[in-house]
Amino acid sequence: MDSRPFDVLLYGAGGFTGRQTVAYFAAHAPAGLRWALAGRHLDRLEAARAAAVGPSRPAQVLKADSRDRASVDTVVSRARVVLNTAGPFALYGDPVVDACVRFRTHYVDITGETTWVADLIQRHHARAAADGVRIIPFCGVDSVPSDLGAFLLVRFLRAQGVGCGPVKAAFRLRGGLNGGTVASAIQLFESGQAYRAQEPFLLDGPAAHTPEEVAASVDPLRPRWDADFGRWLAPFVMAPVNTRVVRRSAALAALAGEAYGAHFAYQEYLSVKSRLQASAMAAGLSVFQAALGSPARHLLKRLLPGPGTGPSEDVITSGWLRCDFLAVGEDGRKAYGLVRDTGDPGNAITVKCLCESALALAQDAARLPGGTGRGGILTPAVGLGDVLVERLRARGMVLSASSSPP
Ligand SMILES: NC(=O)c1ccc[n+]([C@@H]2O[C@H](COP(=O)([O-])OP(=O)(O)OC[C@H]3O[C@@H](n4cnc5c(N)ncnc54)[C@H](OP(=O)(O)O)[C@@H]3O)[C@@H](O)[C@H]2O)c1
């Protein structure tokens, strides 16, 4: 591995999110880290390199189009870690992950495409696990805050000798929308896969669940008052992704002998001020999903941001995210969690989570959970755990668990 010329390869670095990963690495990559850019348009990669200001510079810019598998093999085989922002991942991701598994290159991305990852698990989990290759999707705002927030609560209760029961999470956030995210949502419906995404344990693999567990884990559709949070809760657009990821973390942890708890369950919501707002959010989400599933999505394509575009710099810097968690231990005691940060969740926070995940793989291999032998299609909590928590805290993100509300 050390003989490879690059520690980290930023794939898709000419895209809207990709350009921000280049800026993040230029500003924060440690001295001596060898990193390079790759993608299908050299001019866009060169522009990203020229725009990024900071002490660290990319060693090289490499052309690799995911429709040309040989070009992808060439760049992936030269890196220890690949950071991928070329999405929709169901369209462009397979050649990259396939190559990472074959060349034993660790991998992180920011997909929220659960059905794509379900297929990766089928195809690659066993081999990546046997070879100790960490393939870690969902390293953006879907689903790092949810996954690490639940992980910290489980650990907090375990330290008191108590297993973790149900956990609920309530998000508040402000930010913009990327064209790439719209394209990924549309791709899910155009591919006819949207129905699969409703399966509550889509990413668990062979773990069995009782009909009661499944019924308790379906995505909520109605608004409701929550006395614990003292807030109205509405269905949350990211919950069908985040909940599947947290449940996979629980399933993988149980296989590794670190079970979250026999009665662990996870749900999440959007937290709003009033009943009216909660009803409006619930109705808006159903209308949006119905439109995506109908011919009206062609209109949405024209109205919403297109690939390569995203929010203004103002929106990216003025956004924020706050997620409150409540866990009930198996003996009934409660534990409270908080994840909070500033910046647009889909851009500034996503880029921070993703880049720190890649840097953790590149720099902290000996300290990663499960030791150097752990591999598979993993989650942020199972593949990076405390190492990522520490890195994000050092970059200003609040991640906490305690016995009293924050
Ligand atoms: N999880 C999260 O929190 C989060 C947040 C933001 C975005 N995302 C996801 O990240 C992905 C990218 O979003 P974005 O806003 O950055 O989109 P974008 O600006 O449209 O970027 C897409 C990237 O994919 C590249 N690409 C397209 N076809 C390719 C091919 N055949 N081979 C290699 N690269 C190819 C594009 O290259 P060119 O520039 O050469 O066209 C571009 O670099 C989307 O799937 C989105 O859903 C997730």
pLDDT tens, 303-329?
Answer: 889 999 999 999 999 999 999 999 999
**1 inside domain:** no
**58 inside domain:** yes
> Could you tell me the distance, in angstroms and rounded to a whole number, from the CA of residue 93 to the centre of ligand 1?
10
Q: Is the CB of 343 under 6 A from ligand 1?
A: no
Is residue 262 within 8 Å of 163, Cβ to Cβ? Answer: yes
Q: Answer yes or no: do 294 and 355 share one domain.
A: no
**190 inside domain:** yes
- With tokens 């949070």, the residue in question is 229
Angle (deg, nearest 10), helices 144-158 and 385-394: 110
**27 inside domain:** yes
**256 inside domain:** yes
Q: Answer yes or no: do 219 and 129 share one domain.
A: no
CA angle 210/214/219 to nearest 5° reads 170
> Could you tell me the distance, in angstroms and rounded to a whole number, from the CA of residue 298 to the centre of ligand 1?
20
Is residue 289 pLDDT above 70, yes or no? yes
Distance, CA of 135 to CA of 32 (rounded, Å): 24
Q: Answer yes or no: do 198 and 52 share one domain.
A: no
Measured between alpha carbons, how far is residue 108 from residues 63, 82, 178, 380 in Å? Answer: 19, 6, 19, 9
Lowest mean pLDDT among 191-205, 255-269, 340-354: 191-205
Q: Answer yes or no: do 47 and 137 share one domain.
A: yes
Q: Answer yes or no: do 230 and 293 share one domain.
A: yes
**25 inside domain:** yes
Distance, CA of 289 to CA of 186 (rounded, Å): 10
Q: Answer yes or no: do 293 and 160 share one domain.
A: yes
Measured between alpha carbons, how far is residue 251 from residues 45, 146, 211, 326 in Å? Answer: 39, 15, 17, 20
Q: Could you give the number of structural domains in the chain?
A: 2
**235 inside domain:** yes
pLDDT reported for residue 406: 87
Q: Give the mean pLDDT of 129-153.
A: 98
pLDDT tens-place string over residues 356-388: 999 999 999 999 999 989 999 999 999 999 999
Q: Answer yes or no: do 336 and 353 share one domain.
A: no
> Could you tell me the distance, in angstroms and rounded to a whole number, from the CA of residue 92 to the centre of ligand 1?
9
Give the global pTM: 0.97
Closest-lying ligand 1 atom to the alpha carbon of residue 141: 3
Is residue 176 within 8 Å of 219, Cβ to Cβ? Answer: no
Domain extent for 14: 6-141+349-384
Buried b (16+ CB within 10 A) or exposed e, 295-320: eebeebeeebbebeebbeeebbebbb
Q: Answer yes or no: do 108 and 65 share one domain.
A: yes
Q: Answer yes or no: do 284 and 309 share one domain.
A: yes
Q: Give the mean pLDDT of 252-267.
A: 95
Is residue 206 pLDDT above 70, yes or no? no
Is residue 137 within 8 Å of 248, Cβ to Cβ? Answer: no
Backbone angles phi, psi at 136, to 5 degrees: -125, 95
pLDDT tens-place string over residues 20-44: 999 999 999 999 999 999 999 999 9
Q: Is the CB of 15 under 6 A from ligand 1?
A: yes
- With tokens 């689903």, the residue in question is 143
Closest-lying ligand 1 atom to the alpha carbon of residue 110: 1
Distance, CA of 402 to CA of 226 (rounded, Å): 20
Q: Answer yes or no: do 236 and 380 share one domain.
A: no
Q: Is the CB of 114 under 6 A from ligand 1?
A: no
Closest-lying ligand 1 atom to the alpha carbon of residue 139: 1
Closest-lying ligand 1 atom to the alpha carbon of residue 350: 3
Q: Could you tell me which of 345, 142, 346 has the C-alpha nearest to residue 246? A: 142
Q: Answer yes or no: do 283 and 316 share one domain.
A: yes
Q: In sequence order, which residues have a C-beta less than 8 Å from that of residue 238 and are 6 or more positions away? A: 112, 141, 142, 143, 146, 171, 268
The two beta strands, 265-272 and 231-234, are antiparallel
> Which mutation among 11, 16, 73, 97 tests ligand 1's pocket best, with the greatest number of atoms within 8 A of CB?
16
> Which mutation among 20, 21, 22, 40 tests ligand 1's pocket best, with the greatest number of atoms within 8 A of CB?
40
